[in-house]
Amino acid sequence: MHRTKVTVAEGVLDANETIALANRADFDRAGVRVVNLMSAPGAGKTTLLERVLEEGLGGAPRVGVLEGDVQGSIDAERIAALHVPVTQLNTDPGFGGECHLDANMVRSALPAVPLEEIDLLVIENVGNLVCPAEFRVGEDARAMVCSVAEGEDKPLKYPLMFRSCELVVVNKIDLLPHLDFSLEDLLGNLERVNPGVAHMLLSARTGEGVDAFADWLAAVAAREPAPL
Amino acid sequence: MHRTKVTVAEGVLDANETIALANRADFDRAGVRVVNLMSAPGAGKTTLLERVLEEGLGGAPRVGVLEGDVQGSIDAERIAALHVPVTQLNTDPGFGGECHLDANMVRSALPAVPLEEIDLLVIENVGNLVCPAEFRVGEDARAMVCSVAEGEDKPLKYPLMFRSCELVVVNKIDLLPHLDFSLEDLLGNLERVNPGVAHMLLSARTGEGVDAFADWLAAVAAREPAPL
């Protein structure tokens, strides 16, 4: 008797990876580079995007935005006011509201994203420092925003998030004079969990340092696609 | 032929509710009231607890703390320095780090919590505005902390969290002069998602208004147990 042994796959994360690769293939075919932008709630992702979209990117890549939120379309409306193609993706049909985007949710939104009209898609993930880091969605690059108002200890408490990004944007530096906060401690903690990771200091509110983030986005838009 | 129809239970949330009730029965038997304290990362839960524990609660209930974190014991060490019984509960054995506490995780920590020596247990949940609101852990009361640095729109973007709490603590009001932030808009948004919910304004950093939170904790400690 012939026997075949089948090992049950790892499940949800394996399935996610398969769909993430399918997303990446679609993005590559359309010549679109994709950034997965993550942070805690209220760290300033949308304000930062508003700033860079207002001021424009070097090389003028055409930018689109996919907004992930549990409910509502507040951020999408803010971005749409800048005449940038924006697609809202709400996670609330699932289980009281999913706390992250996964590859399948992004896939379900793709028919509404005008991939032929853009060069760079920024996916603004749900505000959360845990689960978004666990699900690739087909992105070329991951960046996160952390606000100095959140304290210095966040890299130690949410290491997977800080470790999974190639760029850490430290936002709200205009508040530094008004906080008991040590930038040196934050950067030391960051170095402990993700040695050598790129970081930049800026204030989306005042505009200080925002050009560096615009330059980074433009550089991602100009990249060759990484191997799948 | 006799037929019996069995409907498959709702699954994870039903199982959670069953264990939450078992936790509550244990808390009630020990005469301990329990607060589930939630917030986004860096909103100031631990600093607020430090303040009220330093200053003491009216009626002097004996307080214990259960610290929920993905990794590490930074917050537990801060609380332990105040000579309060504190138990660390890390969620990282699960799935890259669970983004919330559930009833079973709390249950697994109970043997390490000195219930006979305390009157009030404060459970500091994982910093996250989505999933913690979906899992009861056996608490008598739920409170959340939101920081003015997070922006006015959070009640609209994370309505389940703001709706599931009986008290919303608005923290970091010392930063108000340095932010583009409308307290009126925040409170209006809060009223939209949870009409009539109690709120208080305070700064855990300066201590302004913190006595109101201490009074609320003392009042919860003095409550009769609610029906299971």
Q: Is the pLDDT of residue B76 over 90?
A: yes
pLDDT at A9: 46
Report pLDDT for A137.
Answer: 97
Nearest-CB residue to A41 (from B96, B129, B179): B129
- pLDDT bin (cut points 50, 70, 90) of residue B12 is confident
pLDDT band at B95 (very low <50, low <70, confident <90, very high): low
- Closest chain B CA to residue A134: B96
Tell me which residue has tokens 């890259």: B96
CA distance A151 to chain B (A): 6
Q: What is the pLDDT of residue B47?
A: 97
A160 to B97: CB separation less than 8 angstroms, yes or no: yes
**Cβ within 8 Å, pair A175-B178:** yes
Phi/psi at B139 (5° precision): -75, 155
B residues 163-192 closer than 8 Å to A (CB)? 172, 174-175, 178-180
Low-confidence ranges of chain A (pLDDT < 70): 1-11, 94-96
Of A41, A130, A178, the CB nearest to B154: A41
* CB-based contact, A131 to chain B, within 8 Å: yes
Does B167 have pLDDT greater than 50?
A: yes
Instruction: Residue A96: list chain B partners with CB under 8 A.
Output: 130-131, 133-134, 160
Per residue in A146-181, pLDDT (tens digit) is 999 999 999 999 999 999 999 999 999 999 999 999
Cβ contacts from A onto B, under 8 A:
117
In Å, how far is A172's CA from the nearest CA of chain B? 9
Least CA distance to A10: which residue of chain B? B95
Q: Are A152 and A182 in contact (CB under 8 A)?
A: yes
Residue of B nearest to A128 (CA): B128
pLDDT of residue B8 exceeding 60: no
B211 in contact with A, Cβ within 8 Å = no
Q: Which are the contacts of A212, defined by CB distance < 8 A and separation ≥ 6? A: A200, A202
Residue among A108, A150, A64, A24 at smallest CA distance from B44: A150
Q: B9 and chain A: CB distance < 8 Å anywhere?
A: no
Q: Which residue has the tokens 């108002």?
A: A149
The pLDDT, as a whole number, for residue B9 is 46
Q: Which pLDDT does position A6 carry in this prediction?
A: 52
Instruction: Write the single-letter amino acid at A67.
Output: E
Minimal C-alpha gap between A31 and chain B (Å): 32
* Cα of B211 vs its chain's centroid, Å: 18
Determine the Cα–Cα distance for residues A79 and A84; give it in Å rounded to an integer: 7
Tell if the pTM clears 0.90, that is, is over it.
yes
For residue A109, give Cα distances in angstroms to A14, A217, B38.
20, 22, 31
Euclidean distance between the first and final Cα of chain B, in Å? Answer: 39
Query: With bands split at pLDDT 50, 70 and 90, how would you rate the model's confidence at B92?
Result: confident
**B4 confidence band (pLDDT: 50, 70, 90):** low
CA A118 → CA A21, A60, A84, A95, distances in Å?
20, 11, 10, 33
Nearest by CB to residue B42, choosing from A69, A150, A174, is: A150
Nearest in space to A104 (alpha carbons), one of A142, A135, A126, A69: A135
Helix H, strand E, coil C: the string for A31-87 is CCEEEEEEECCCCCHHHHHHHHHHHCCCCCCCEEEEEEECCCCHHHHHHHCCCCCEE
Query: Cα separation of A118 and A122, whole Å?
Result: 11
The one-letter amino acid code at A199 reads H
